[in-house]
Amino acid sequence: MNSTDLSVLKAAVHWLKEGHPVAIATVVQTWGSAPRPIGSWLAIRQDGQVAGSVSGGCVEDDLIRRVQTEILTRDIPEFVVYGVSQQEAARFGLPCGGTLRLLVEPKPELAVLEKLLENISSHQVIRRTVTIANGKSTLHDGDRHDEFTCSDSEMCTTYGPRWRMVIIGAGQLSLYTADFALASDFEVIVIDPREEYAEGLNRDDVTFIQGMPDDVLLEIGVDPHTAVVALTHDPKLDDMALMEALKSPAFYVGALGSRKNTQKRKERLLEFDVSKEQVERLHGPVGLYIGALTPPEIAISILAEVIAVKYSVPIPKKV
């Protein structure tokens, strides 16, 4: 769940606790060009106040009107479609003739949403199933690989941290990188065995694990939704982590260091149980080249490269 959708959940819970009637609309299907991805949601209060977005502003005004005048008076969810015809798509400002299908829940259950918020806040992946015939929803453990599904009978949505960044080292650059990763909706884990760095990671929004990086990576498991970034500049720590990360399905593996040091690191890794193909997966020097000099600038360059790889955007050649 990204920060935008989390703010929608928090707003819905807050409004319901205050006694306001609230409807929740979720994007369940799109055709053509759509400004918001499937699973995006919008909370609409009876007085027209909203949190979130389902179309980037194209259909919200009409949806608010329908919720206030029709949908909130009902008890079960219903599907709402915008942009069936080219003319209607143009009327609602849907780009390129896109079509948007929403599921609107007029009676979301406060207890379920509160439990969902509690689970997400404790970094759990949770799957919510809404039964369309009666509007009831249930929660159960989810998996990072669970996909959004919606049929005529139920909608299943997975919430929680789906993308994860593991940072090796707890120095100043790591803290800036963690901050930008959190702002980009990554779950962040920092690994460092050094006692002197433990105190600086006393914060609730980052998981700090004090241990040898290679052992910890094996313990926590690295999946295709994980990025591993080695930032200690200490070969004894970085190389051990990289040996495991490069053999894993991590979508991104990067390490701090100059081009010369990166080449030496690759040569060292080849002396261990790491293949040439695996070594070539290493992004080094870590980050996009933007002329960064300070720790926050370098952290920005790191996140820029990680996000580019996440979305399969070609990486410019480093100079």
pLDDT tens sequence across 43-99: 999 999 999 888 766 688 889 999 999 999 999 999 998 875 556 655 655 555 567
pLDDT at 91: 63
pLDDT at 93: 58
pLDDT at 83: 73
Q: How far apart are CA 85 and CA 92, in angstroms?
A: 11
pLDDT at 68: 93
Length of the chain: 319
Q: pLDDT higher for 121 or 169?
A: 169
pLDDT at 92: 57
Burial zone of 88 (CB within 10 Å; 0-12 exposed, 13-18 middle, 19+ buried): middle
Range(s) of the chain covered by CATH 3.40.50.720: 164-310
Q: Mind listing the pLDDT tens digit for each residue in 128-144? A: 999 999 999 999 998 86
Q: Is the pLDDT of residue 226 over 60?
A: yes
List, in sequence order, every beta strand (DSSP E) within 196-300. Answer: 207-209, 226-230, 252-255
Amino acid at 148: F
pLDDT at 32: 65
Q: What is the DSSP string of 149-200?
A: EE-SSEEEEEES--SEEEEE--SHHHHHHHHHHHHTT-EEEEE---GGGTGG
pLDDT at 95: 54
Q: Mind listing the pLDDT tens digit for each residue in 231-272? A: 998 888 999 999 999 999 999 999 999 899 999 999 999 998
pLDDT at 134: 95
Q: How far apart are CA 171 and CA 169, in angstroms?
A: 6
Q: Is the pLDDT of residue 306 over 90?
A: yes
Token pair for residue 73? 């008076």
Q: How far apart are CA 303 and CA 296, in angstroms?
A: 11
Provide the whole-model pTM. 0.64
pLDDT at 132: 96
Burial zone of 123 (CB within 10 Å; 0-12 exposed, 13-18 middle, 19+ buried): middle
Q: Is the pLDDT of residue 280 over 90?
A: yes
Q: Report the percent of the chain where pLDDT is more than 90.
A: 62
Mean pLDDT of 289-307: 95
Q: What is the CATH number of domain 164-310?
A: 3.40.50.720
Helices 235-247 and 259-270, axial angle in degrees (round to 10): 60
Amino acid at 7: S
Q: How far apart are CA 202 and CA 230, in angstroms?
A: 20
Banded pLDDT at 223 (limits 50, 70, 90): confident
